[in-house]
């Protein structure tokens, strides 16, 4: 996220958000007018909020450190001061996104956030109803509620963005771990495949193998598929594509782990496997690779 370029995660601009939540200029005026009095009681609001928060599970998890707690209180005070000013522009949207990103990073759940927002709104409405505001108190409460909902949507979008980004990175890391192409001998690569092979994973496998072949100039690549959960037409076609791609790189692809059940399945599917080399187990595949490269291994 680039704050310097004023780019936001939220799908809406500030003006669109106001329209979406039907926040009129009158609503803004009501919030700003009430905010002049309420802003003088921000410390009291923060104190009331943490009286409630101390009884929650999240307090002991996230706020056991007093120095950190004070920093959070200061940030929260700035947050609500901005809220009471009700200057809804792109800077305002960015500040709400920061809250969502921070909550996602520290692992605070959305359910805990929703409960906290609900209690915050309760405190504000109670103070509005007890204030000396000359405006229609019901209208002020409605305006506050709409702006709180607007804030919540921005925070949730930013939270989801960060969460999805984290999941994507984890998935990529798992994918890389699931395609560990290893040079087990000079000119010989091996990749054990486990689980389900779909179009996305087959492409990752091919990219990993071709990249490793380019790096090592390997002549033989062994793919052990004894751990592949299901072999159907799609999987078999993926394997054939991988074999053809490696051959174009000057490397022979050898599939091991062809069980009787897998062999029967491939035959029943009518798939042409004449262009690929197979072995029933990894031992035979390794033996073929060593012999083809002129390597002799003898017992000491």
* CA–CA separation, 238 and 144 (whole Å): 57
The answer as to CATH 1.10.490.10 being correct for domain 14-172 is: yes
Please provide residue 184's backbone torsions phi and psi, each rounded to the nearest 5 degrees. -85, -20
Whether 63 shows a pLDDT value over 60: the answer reads yes
Block residue for tokens 């709400």: 96
Direct distance between the N- and C-terminal alpha carbons of the chain, in angstroms, rounded to an integer: 60
CA distance 12 to 18: 10
Q: What is the pLDDT of residue 276?
A: 77
For residues 290 and 222, the answer to whether their CB atoms sit within 8 Å is: no
Query: Could you tell me the CA-to-CA distances from 32 to 176, 247, 293 in Å, in that order?
Result: 53, 71, 80
Q: Which CATH architecture has domain 182-292?
A: 2-Layer Sandwich (3.30)
Phi, psi of 227 (to 5 degrees): -100, 5
Tell me: the pLDDT tens digits for 97-156? 999 998 888 888 889 899 999 999 999 999 998 877 777 899 999 999 999 999 999 999
Per residue in 22-44, pLDDT (tens digit) is 999 999 999 999 999 999 999 99
- Tokens 């609001």 found at: 45
**Residue 167: helix, strand or coil by DSSP?**
helix
Given a cut of 50, is residue 90 above it in pLDDT?
Answer: yes
> What is the mean pLDDT of the segment spanning 252-273?
80
Rounded to 5 degrees, what angle do the CA atoms 194, 288, 292 make? 130
Q: How is the chain split into domains, by residue range?
A: 14-172, 182-292
Give the three-class secondary structure for 189.
strand
Phi, psi of 223 (to 5 degrees): -110, 110
Query: What are the backbone angles phi and psi of residue 194, rounded to the nearest 5°?
Result: -135, 140
């Amino acid at each position: 996220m680039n704050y310097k370029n004023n780019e936001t995660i939220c799908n809406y601009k500030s003006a669109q958000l106001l329209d979406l939540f039907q926040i009129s200029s009158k609503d803004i005026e009501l919030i700003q007018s009430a905010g002049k009095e309420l802003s003088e009681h921000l410390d009291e609001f923060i104190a009331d909020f943490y009286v409630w928060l101390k009884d929650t599970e999240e307090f002991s998890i996230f706020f056991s450190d007093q120095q950190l707690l004070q920093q959070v209180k200061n940030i929260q005070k700035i947050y609500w001061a901005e809220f009471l000013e009700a200057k809804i522009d792109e800077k305002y949207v960015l500040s709400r996104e920061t809250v969502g990103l921070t909550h996602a990073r520290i692992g605070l759940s959305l359910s805990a956030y929703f409960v906290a927002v609900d209690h915050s709104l309760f405190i504000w409405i109670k103070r509005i109803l007890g204030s000396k505001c000359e405006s229609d108190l019901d209208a002020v409460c409605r305006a506050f509620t709409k702006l709180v909902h607007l804030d919540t949507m921005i925070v949730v979008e930013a939270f989801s963005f960060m969460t999805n980004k984290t999941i994507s990175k984890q998935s990529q890391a798992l994918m890389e771990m699931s395609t560990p192409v290893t040079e087990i001998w000079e000119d010989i690569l091996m990749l054990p495949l486990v689980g389900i092979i779909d179009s996305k994973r087959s492409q990752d496998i091919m990219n990993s193998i071709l990249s490793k072949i380019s790096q090592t100039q390997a002549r033989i690549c062994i793919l052990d598929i004894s751990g592949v959960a299901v072999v159907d037409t799609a999987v078999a076609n993926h394997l054939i594509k991988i074999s053809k791609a490696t051959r174009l790189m000057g490397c022979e692809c050898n599939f091991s782990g062809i069980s009787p059940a897998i062999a029967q399945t491939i035959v029943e599917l009518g798939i042409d496997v004449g262009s690929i080399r197979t072995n029933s187990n990894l031992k035979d595949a390794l033996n073929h690779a060593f012999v083809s490269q002129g390597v002799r291994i003898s017992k000491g």
